[in-house]
Amino acid sequence: MILKDKAPINASSPTAKAGLKQEQDVAFFLRRSFKDHQQVFVFNDLKFKHNNETAQIDHLIVYTYGFILIESKSITGEVKVNKQQEWSRSYQGKWQGMPSPIKQVELQQDLLKELLSENRVNILEKMLFAQKGFGGRCWNNICAISSNAIIDRTEMPTDISAQLVKSEFLVDKINKLMKLRHKFIYMLNFADIRPYFNADEMQSIANFLLEQDISNGKKSVVKNITNTAEPKVINPVSNDEKTQPPTIKSVNTKAKTINLCCSKCQATKQLVPSHGKYGYYLKCQQCSGNTAMKQPCPHCNSKQTKVSKRKDDYNLNCSDCEQSTKYEIGNK
C-alpha cells in the first residue's frame, strides 16, 4: 500500500530536477509492485523530527517483519567505491568524490529507531505481560541509483555492493530482503523465526509515522488503513458467522462517542472487540453473536467510514467529513 506520496516541490536547477526525477522513478517502481500489497506499507518522502534532529527518508517500507530505508541518487555517469568505502562518480568525463549515500541513510535509520523505540508503549502491544519492542526486527538500507548509471564493483566492498542497485532492479532486491510468501495472503512460514508485526501493530506504526511527518510543513492527516490481515488466522469467522450490521444503541455527537449493542440479543455489555477477515467486530459473550463495528458516520451519514484501533481505543473515521468518533464498548 502506498500510504504517502512525495510532497510537491518546484525544482529549478538541473541537479534538483535530476534528483526529483530519480525519486519519482523509484516511487513508480514501488507503486507498481506494492500498491495492492497487504503486508507492505510504502512512505515516500518521510520527514520527521526527534531529539532536536531532523531526518528525511526518500522512501520507507514497513512490512510484516521490519523496515527498509531507500536512498535515491541521481547518477547518470559511473560510480565506484574503494576499499575504504569512499565514493566517487564521473561527470562529463571527470571524476569527483561524493558523500556516501549509505552512511547518509544509516543516520536516518538510527534516528527512526530511536523515535520508534521511545514510543513503543504507544505503538506496539504487550505479550505475556511484557511490552513488545523493535529489537530483533529486520532493518535494511538500499541505495537506488539511476538505471543508466555504470557501476564499477571491482574494488567495492561486498556489503556496499549488496546495498547498491539500479532503480529497475530495486523491487527484486526488496522482495529478496522481505521474504514474504504471498502478495495478497497474509501467511507465515512456520520455519521463519523472525518476530512479526500483527495487523493492528502495522496500522499503529503507519499511523504513528504519518502523525510525525512534517514534509508538507505540517503534520500529515492520519487515515485509517484497510485490507491489512493477520499473519495467521486464529478461529476465523465462518460464512455462517458473518458479522451482522451494527445496531446503534446511542450516539453522543457532542462527546464524539458511539455505543453499540449486540445485533442478535441487543445486549450492551459483555461485548468484546475482535478482528477477523471481515474487519473489526464485537463478539457477544451472552449469545455468541457477532456485530460489525463499521457503520455510517453519525455526523454526516456517509458510508465512507473505516474503523481504526490505537492501543485499546477504537474509532470510526469518516473520509467525507473527516470526523473521528470514539466507540464506548461495554465489555464488562
Give the tens place of pLDDT for each residue, 277-329. Answer: 667 888 888 888 888 888 888 888 777 788 888 878 888 888 777 788 888 88
Q: Are 274 and 282 in contact (CB under 8 A)?
A: yes
CA distance 225 to 62: 13
Strand partners, 87: 81, 98
pLDDT of 16 above 90: no
Regarding pTM above 0.85, the answer is no
- What would the mean pLDDT of 27-40 be, rounded to a whole number? 93
Task: Report the alpha-carbon distance of residue 211 to residue 215 in Å, rounded.
Answer: 11
Residue with cell 492501543: 311
Query: What is the C-alpha to C-alpha distance for residues 95 and 108, in angstroms, rounded to an integer?
Result: 27
More confident residue, 169 or 222: 169
- 297, with CB counted inside 10 A (0-12, 13-18, 19+), is buried
pLDDT computed for residue 306 by the predictor: 85
| Vertex 136: Cα angle to 130 and 140 (nearest 5) | 145
Residue pointed to by grid coordinates 522482495 = 175
Q: Taking the alpha carbons of 282, 283, 284, 290 in that order, is the dihedral positive or negative?
A: positive
CA distance 36 to 2: 8
Tell me the residue type at 200: D
Report the relative pairing of strands 138-145 and 164-166 from DSSP bridges: parallel
Q: What is the mean pLDDT of residues 247-272?
A: 72
Q: Give the model confidence (pLDDT) of 213-254 as tens digits.
A: 998 765 555 555 554 444 443 333 344 444 555 555 555 545
Cα maximum dimension of the chain: 79
Average pLDDT, the chain: 84
| Cα angle value 118/123/128 (rounded, 5°) | 100
Strands (DSSP E) contained in the chain are 2-4, 40-50, 53-63, 66-73, 78-81, 87-91, 94-98, 126-127, 130-131, 138-145, 150-152, 164-166, 247-252, 257-261, 271-276, 279-284, 290-292, 305-310, 313-318, 324-327
